[in-house]
Chains A and B, each alone.
Chain A
C-alpha cells in the first residue's frame, strides 16, 4: 500500500494505482476529458492535471501512479487556472454550435466547460474544415474533433484496424484516416466503436432520421420495420427510462405513434438464420469442408468487412447465410409482400439496429434478392430511433406496451440472445442438437459460452461428435483468434465473431455513455428475456415453421438459397494496407 495526501486528506491505496483512481476512491473526483481507462491514458487534454507539492510542473492524474508520501492538490489556484485555460484552448479549436450537435447534452467537453463555469471564449477560434463523404455511414466532423485520440486508440488497440491516425504535424495536427486514405478507400469495418468512444460530436453515424420522416409522410409507401434484439436492451437509456420500463413493447408503442405501418422483430429472422446456418453447419461438417478451418458466422457485417479486408483467403469459411437484417429484408419484399398482396416496390423496408455497419450492409449491391430495390431500404441506429422519439415528443414512460405485428413479430429466446456475444452460437447449437438428435437439449446446456470474455471456447458433444466452438467479440480478439487458427495453435469447427466488444449490445449504434461500457448489463437483459421466454428454440417458432411450410419448404432449399443466402465475394472491400509492423502485434 502507498500512503499519500490528496487535498489535505491522507489516503492509502494499492501500489500502482493512478492518481485519478486514488482520488476517486477517496471521494475526490478529478475531471478528465481524453482519458479512457486502459485504452487512452495519454495525458493529452491536460484537464486532469494536479499539483504536486514542491514541484513546479503540474502532472496528469490519469497516467501517473501514486508514490509514497506524495502531497497533491486537485484544486489549487494553479490547477484551477491551468485546467480552465486548457479547456478554453480546446474550445478554440472546437465548433461549439451545441444547439445543432447530436451530442449536445451527452458531450464530455460541454460538461467540463459547463462545470468550470466557462461562459465566454477568450481565444480566437481556429476550426479545420476538411471535406468528408457525406453519404458514408460514418461521418467525421473535423471542426469538432478535439484530438483526444480516443478513436485512434480504440481502432488500434481494441479493433486492431488502425483506420484512424494522426495526420499532419505541428499546429496543423489533426486526426484523419490513416495512411493518407479517404474513408471510402479504407479497410474500416464500420463497427462504430470510434463513435461510441468519441467524447464530442466529431464522429457520428450518417443521420437518416429526416429521410425516414419523409418516407413516413409518403402515403404511397408501406413502411415495414424490424427491430434488432440488442436495441430493446439499450434504447431507454438515452431517454432516461429505467430498465424495467424500457421494454420492447414500449418501443413498439412509440414506433406506432411515429407512424411505422408494420412493426416486426428481427428475432424472427434471427431464428430463420439459425435454421439456415445450423443446417449449413451440419452439411459442412459432413462434407469435411471444416477440416482445416471452421465455419464462421456471418451475421455481423463489421466482422464480414474485417475478414474480407484482412484475411480474404478465409472468406469461403463464412457461412453463406445472410445476416438476420438482410434475411428479414428479402422476406419482407417477397413472402410478406405476397401475404399483403401488394407490389414489393410499395414497401419501404426499414431496420432499427444497434449498429453502424448495418447501414453499409444494407447498401451492398448484392443485397437486393427480392428484386424490388434494396431488400432493406433504410437502417436506423438505436440512437436515431431515440432521436425520432424525441423529435415526436412522445412521453414513452406513459405509453402502454404494445405487441409486434404478426406473423413476423414472433421470435424466440434463441433469437433474442443474438444481441450478445455467444448468443448466435448458443442458439445455433440448441437447434443443431435438435437437428442431429431429433430432440431438444436443455436450452441452458451451452451457457458455457456466455459472458464478456473476448475469446471463449468450448467443446460440446453432439450425439457422439465433439463440436469445438469458439466465440470472439472485438476485432482485436478476432485477429488473435485467426492468427492462432492460421498457426495451427487452435482448431475449431464453428466460430462466432462479433465486431463489437460484447456483441451487438455493445454495438457502435447504441446510446453513448462516456467512459462507461454497458454491454454486460444489456446482455444480462437479453439473457433474462431468453430465460422467461416460452419458446427457446428457433425451430419451435411457429412463424418459422409456417414460413418453411408455406414458402421455403426446408433450410438450404433453392428458394432459401436465393433469398436467405448471399455470395460474400460479390462485392469489393478495400483491402488492408500492407504494414511493416502490425499495430496489434505491438504494445504501443
Chain B
C-alpha cells in the first residue's frame, strides 16, 4: 500500500493557470476611466469564485454584495442600498474566516467609501460619473500626448524623419526622450492583453537614430510679442520652441553655463550622451530662441523686471537645490550633494574617485546615477545605503539592477545615522542602523522600523547625499509669485492665478518629476501664453499616418534592448544601451495594435491633429 503520491497538476488546472496569467496581463492593460462600481462588482465575482464556502460571511455575504452592486448598476438601488453595501462589506471584513473573504469585502469597502459619489450618481441618475475620455492608452498616459501609434506606424514604414516630425508636434525632445524617458506610455499598452507591452521607447530610439537631421517647421509670422523664460531645461526649452513656432519671440534666461537643465545637469552621459542632447537643443534653437546663459533671475535680474520688459513670463526653474539628510557629521569634508556632483559633471568637471570608497544615501534614480557615476570615476567600492528594502526603492528596477551589475553594493534596510570624520574633518565612515521592514503606511508603502541590532560602521571616504531636490522659489515668493510648501503655486493651465502674464510649470511646480512631464508643462504653457497674448495659433503636423495593417496579431515576444556588459561599460561614461536592429524594429513596430484605428480610438480620441 502506498502512503504518499507525487502531486501533479491536471490539465484543467494548467488551463486555469494560463487564464490567471491572461487576467494579470489584462488588468495591467486596463484602460483608464472605467466605472468603479462595475469594476468592484466584477472583481467581487472573481473573488467569490475563490471562496471555499465554509464560512457564512464569505459564502453568503459575498453573494449578497454581488446582488446589491448589481442593483446599483441596473438602477434598482436606493441610497439605503449603498448604506447596506457598506454595512454588509464591513461585517464580512470583520467576520470572514480567511483572507479570501475579508479581503474581497475590503475591496468593496474601499470602493464604496472611495467612490461614494459615483455610487450616488448611479442611484440618482442611473449612470456613472466616469467615461472613457481618452481611449488610446499610450497617448492617454503620455503627459505630452505624443501620437505614439502614429509614429510607430511611421517607423514600421521606414519613415523615420516623418516619425520625428510627428513626435515634435507634441514633444521637441524626441532624442532625449528616446534615450531616457520613463515611458509611462508602455504601462497600460493594450498589447499586454496578448503578450507584453510594445517597446515604445525603443522604437522611438530607432526613429531618431535613423532619421538624420530633421529641421524644425517654419515659424508663424512674427507677432512682435516677447516671452521671457526662466530656466533652460526641458520645460523652458519646450515652451520656447512652441512659442517661436507660433511667431512669438522666446528669450531664455539660464543660470548655468549651458542649456538642458536636468537633462544635462542631472542625467549622466552614459544614459543621455551630451551630443545627443545637443541634437534636440540645436533644433529648438534653430527656431530663433534667444538664450542668455549664466544669468540668474533673482541675482542679476528680478522676475519683476522680466514681467515689466516682456509680454509674458514662464518660470521653469526646475528643482535643483540640495536636500540634507539631517544627520550628525553631514558638514564633514567629502560629503557631497548629488546635485552638486552631477552639476560638475554636466560642466565637464569630473571629480577623481580613484581608489575611494563611496557611500550613496538614497533610493531613487538619482542615487543610482550617483552610484554608477562613482564607479565610472574610479571608485574602489560603491555602496548605496537605503532605509527600506531594495524592492521599495523608487529608482527604476533596471537602474538598480544596472548598478548592482556594475559592482555597487546595495545596503538595504540600513538607515544612515551619522557620518564619522577623522581629525582633519574628512569623512571616514558612515554609520547605519539596521532596520526591519514593518507595517504599510498611509502612502501604501511598508515603512522601516529600527531592528534590534547594533549600529554598523561602514568605512568610506566619500558620502554622496541623493535624497531628493528642492526648489529655489524664495526669490519668486518675494516678488509676489505664490509659493506653497516650497513649490510655485500654478494652475493646471500653468497660469499663476494672482499674477496675470506669469506662468510656471515643470519640477518647480510639481516637485521633482520626469522629463516628459516638464515637456508637457512647457507645451501647455506655450498654448496658454499664446491665448493670453491674444492669439489662437495651433501647432499641427502634416505627416500622413499610414493605414493600420489588417493582419492577425498572434502572440509575439517583446524586443528588449541589449546593453553592453557591466565590465565593458563601467569604466567610461559612454552610452551602453544598444538600439534595436532593423529586423527588431520592424517586428516590434508590427506588434502595435493601432488603438487609434481599432476599438474606441477610431470613434473618439484616435488622434488629436492639432493643439
- A interface residues, Cβ below 8 angstroms from B: 41-44, 52, 55-57, 59, 63-65, 67, 129-131, 149, 152-153, 156, 165-172, 174, 176, 180, 483, 487, 585-588
Instruction: Kindly specify which of B225-233, B369-377, B425-433, B547-555 makes contact with the partner chain.
Output: B547-555
Q: Which of A41, A169, A483 contacts B128 (CB 8 A)?
A: A169
Q: Residues of A contacting B126 with CB < 8 Å?
A: 130-131
Given contacts A63-B602, A149-B603, A180-B121, contact A167 B128 (CB under 8 A): yes
Contact B606 A180 (CB under 8 A): no
CA distance A167 to B73 in the complex (A): 12
Q: Does B129 contact A (CB under 8 A)?
A: yes
* Dominant SS among interface residues on chain B: loop
- Tell which of B132, B598, B604, B610 has the most Cβ of chain A within 10 Å: B604
Given contacts A67-B550, A169-B38, contact A42 B603 (CB under 8 A): yes
Given contacts A52-B550, A65-B547, A587-B609, contact A168 B128 (CB under 8 A): yes
Chain B min CB distance to A78 (Å):
14
Given pairs A166-B131, A586-B608, 14 additional interface contacts (CB within 8 A) = A43-B598, A57-B552, A59-B550, A64-B548, A166-B604, A167-B127, A180-B127, A180-B129, A585-B538, A585-B610, A587-B607, A587-B610, A588-B607, A588-B608
Q: Which residue of B lies closest to A170 (CB)?
A: B38
Contact B127 A41 (CB under 8 A): no
Contact B610 A586 (CB under 8 A): yes
Q: Residues of A contacting B131 with CB < 8 Å?
A: 165-169
Given contacts A55-B552, A168-B127, A169-B131, contact A41 B35 (CB under 8 A): no
State which residues 516-558 of B face A: CB under 8 Å. 536, 538, 547-548, 550-552
Number of A-B contacts (CB under 8 A): 83
Contact A43 B602 (CB under 8 A): yes
Q: Does B439 contact A (CB under 8 A)?
A: no
Contact B550 A588 (CB under 8 A): no
Q: Does B125 contact A (CB under 8 A)?
A: yes
Chain B min CB distance to A46 (Å):
12
Contact B130 A130 (CB under 8 A): no
- B interface residues, Cβ below 8 angstroms from A: 33-35, 38, 42, 73, 75, 121, 125-132, 536, 538, 547-548, 550-552, 597-598, 602-611
Chain B min CB distance to A584 (Å):
12
CA distance A238 to B86 in the complex (A): 56
Q: Residues of B contacting A166 with CB < 8 Å?
A: 131-132, 604
- Tell which of B73, B127, B538 has the most Cβ of chain A within 10 Å: B127
CA distance A587 to B603 in the complex (A): 10
CA distance A63 to B596 in the complex (A): 12
CA distance A149 to B602 in the complex (A): 12
Q: Which of B536, B551, B605 contacts A588 (CB 8 A)?
A: B605
CA distance A52 to B126 in the complex (A): 42
Q: Residues of B contacting A129 with CB < 8 Å?
A: 75
Contact B552 A56 (CB under 8 A): yes
Q: Which residue of A lies closest to B125 (CB)?
A: A180
Chain B min CB distance to A487 (Å):
6
- Tell which of A131, A169, A176 has the most Cβ of chain B within 10 Å: A169
Given contacts A130-B75, A588-B607, contact A170 B602 (CB under 8 A): no
Given contacts A167-B131, A169-B131, A587-B609, contact A55 B603 (CB under 8 A): no
Chain A min CB distance to B200 (Å):
22
Chain A min CB distance to B62 (Å):
20
Contact B536 A169 (CB under 8 A): no
CA distance A156 to B605 in the complex (A): 12
Contact A170 B34 (CB under 8 A): yes
Chain B min CB distance to A471 (Å):
24
21 A–B pairs (Cβ distance < 8 Å), ordered by A: A52-B550, A55-B551, A55-B552, A57-B552, A63-B597, A67-B550, A130-B126, A131-B126, A149-B603, A153-B603, A156-B604, A166-B132, A167-B128, A167-B131, A168-B35, A169-B33, A169-B131, A170-B38, A171-B38, A176-B127, A587-B609
Chain A min CB distance to B590 (Å):
14
CA distance A370 to B469 in the complex (A): 74
Q: Residues of A contacting B128 with CB < 8 Å?
A: 167-169, 172
CA distance A55 to B553 in the complex (A): 10
Given contacts A41-B602, A180-B125, A586-B608, contact A169 B552 (CB under 8 A): no
User: Which 9 A-B pairs rank lowest in CB-CB distance, beginning with the nearest?
Assistant: A42-B603, A169-B35, A168-B128, A587-B609, A170-B38, A56-B552, A588-B604, A167-B127, A169-B34
CA distance A46 to B549 in the complex (A): 18
Q: Residues of A contacting B73 with CB < 8 Å?
A: 172
Q: Which residue of B lies closest to A16 (CB)?
A: B547
Chain B min CB distance to A10 (Å):
19
Contact B536 A487 (CB under 8 A): yes
Contact A169 B132 (CB under 8 A): yes
Q: Residues of B contacting A156 with CB < 8 Å?
A: 604
Chain A min CB distance to B285 (Å):
30
Q: Which of A130, A152, A172, A588 contacts B35 (CB 8 A)?
A: A172
Given contacts A130-B75, A169-B34, contact A64 B132 (CB under 8 A): no
Chain A min CB distance to B547 (Å):
6
CA distance A192 to B22 in the complex (A): 45
Q: Residues of A contacting B129 with CB < 8 Å?
A: 180
Q: Residues of A contacting B550 with CB < 8 Å?
A: 52, 55, 59, 64, 67
Q: Which residue of B lies closest to A63 (CB)?
A: B602
Given contacts A59-B550, A67-B550, contact A170 B35 (CB under 8 A): yes
- Tell which of A41, A166, A487 has the most Cβ of chain B within 10 Å: A166
Q: Which residue of A lies closest to B540 (CB)?
A: A587
Chain A min CB distance to B121 (Å):
7
Q: Residues of B contacting A168 with CB < 8 Å?
A: 35, 38, 127-128, 131
CA distance A586 to B608 in the complex (A): 6
Q: Which residue of A lies closest to B608 (CB)?
A: A586
CA distance A173 to B598 in the complex (A): 18
CA distance A376 to B381 in the complex (A): 92
Q: Residues of B contacting A59 with CB < 8 Å?
A: 550
CA distance A122 to B455 in the complex (A): 74
Chain B min CB distance to A249 (Å):
46
Q: Which residue of A lies closest to B551 (CB)?
A: A55
Q: Residues of B contacting A55 with CB < 8 Å?
A: 550-552
Q: Which residue of A lies closest to B493 (CB)?
A: A580
Q: Residues of A contacting B121 with CB < 8 Å?
A: 180
Q: Residues of A contacting B611 with CB < 8 Å?
A: 586
Chain B min CB distance to A588 (Å):
5
Q: Residues of A contacting B605 with CB < 8 Å?
A: 588
Q: Residues of B contacting A176 with CB < 8 Å?
A: 127
Chain B min CB distance to A34 (Å):
10
Q: Residues of A contacting B33 with CB < 8 Å?
A: 169
Chain A min CB distance to B190 (Å):
15
Chain A min CB distance to B223 (Å):
13
CA distance A65 to B549 in the complex (A): 10
Q: Residues of B contacting A170 with CB < 8 Å?
A: 34-35, 38, 42
CA distance A153 to B604 in the complex (A): 9
Given contacts A130-B75, A176-B127, contact A588 B38 (CB under 8 A): no
Q: Which residue of A lies closest to B611 (CB)?
A: A586
Q: Residues of B contacting A56 with CB < 8 Å?
A: 552
CA distance A141 to B333 in the complex (A): 78
Q: Which residue of B lies closest to A57 (CB)?
A: B552
Chain B min CB distance to A484 (Å):
10
CA distance A201 to B274 in the complex (A): 64
Q: Which residue of A lies closest to B602 (CB)?
A: A42
CA distance A129 to B127 in the complex (A): 12
CA distance A90 to B281 in the complex (A): 54
Q: Residues of A contacting B127 with CB < 8 Å?
A: 130, 167-168, 174, 176, 180
CA distance A153 to B42 in the complex (A): 30
Contact A586 B132 (CB under 8 A): no
Q: Residues of B contacting A42 with CB < 8 Å?
A: 602-603
CA distance A587 to B607 in the complex (A): 7
Q: Which residue of A lies closest to B42 (CB)?
A: A170
Chain B min CB distance to A192 (Å):
22
Q: Residues of A contacting B38 with CB < 8 Å?
A: 168-172
CA distance A65 to B548 in the complex (A): 9
Chain A min CB distance to B478 (Å):
33
